[in-house]
């Protein structure tokens, strides 16, 4: 829980949070306006992230050469860097792969949420966990029902939703700090 002193320290930064919120909202609107471009941006971001992680993992492996896990660390770095290079050199195939991964993730999460909801059954509000599970399953099935064509927009739409959600969150916090 934030103390009065913490709030005072944060209060002076409300304008920066508001600015970040506005930038995030603009990014979300632009991503919704062109989901394909946002999907490609998400693929490139993932590609560069995997490549950077892979290179850092390889460097780490060589910095601990005498370690018994050296080979596994090196292999992890090589595979991760290769995934990054693959996404960067063939972003369309990357978008298809990542979209399939998202669809499977939604399906698995949906089933897990449903099982969790049924285990909560005596608790009030368990139905919301079940509803969340059903929504995840429906989203996964919607993506798969239009696959591979859904790959052109799904990642961009998810990125847009995240940017919009993040923008609203930052603006609400900024305004709360301004008024604190």
Q: In this prediction, what percent of the chain has a pLDDT beyond 90?
A: 68
How far is it, in rounded angstroms, from Cα 25 to Cα 21? 6
- Residue boundaries of the structural domains of the chain: 14-175
Decide: pTM greater than 0.95: no
CB 134 within 8 A of CB 108: no
Span 82-90, average pLDDT: 96
pLDDT of residue 6: 63
| pLDDT for 3 beyond 80 | no
CB within 8 Å of 144: residues ≥ 6 apart: 103, 107, 150
Alpha helices for the chain (secondary structure H): 4-11, 14-33, 35-63, 70-89, 91-119, 126-145, 154-179
The phi and psi torsions of 158 (rounded to 5 degrees) equal -65, -40
Residue (of 165, 146, 169) closest to 99 by Cα position: 146
Residue 118 or 9, more confident = 118
How far is it, in rounded angstroms, from Cα 32 to Cα 6? 36
pLDDT of residue 163: 92
pLDDT of residue 49: 96
Span 64-85, average pLDDT: 91
Average pLDDT of the residues of the chain? 90
Nearest-5° Cα angle at 93, 167 to 35: 30
């Amino acid at each position: 829980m934030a103390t009065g002193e913490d709030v005072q320290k944060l209060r002076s930064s409300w304008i920066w949070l508001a600015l970040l919120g506005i930038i995030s909202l603009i990014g979300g609107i632009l991503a919704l306006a062109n989901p394909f471009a946002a999907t490609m941006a998400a693929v490139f971001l993932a590609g560069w992230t995997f490549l950077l992680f892979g290179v850092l993992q390889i460097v780490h492996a060589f910095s601990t050469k005498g370690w018994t896990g050296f080979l596994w660390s090196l292999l992890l770095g090589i595979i991760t860097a290769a995934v990054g290079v693959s996404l960067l050199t063939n972003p369309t195939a990357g978008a298809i792969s990542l979209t399939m991964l998202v669809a499977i993730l939604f399906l698995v999460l949906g089933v897990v949420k449903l099982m969790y909801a049924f285990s909560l059954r005596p608790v009030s509000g368990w139905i919301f966990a079940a509803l969340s599970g059903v929504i995840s399953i429906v989203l996964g099935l919607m993506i798969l029902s239009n696959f591979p064509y859904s790959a052109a927009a799904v990642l961009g739409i998810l990125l847009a939703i995240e940017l919009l959600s993040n923008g609203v969150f930052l603006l609400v916090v900024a305004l709360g700090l301004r008024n604190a």
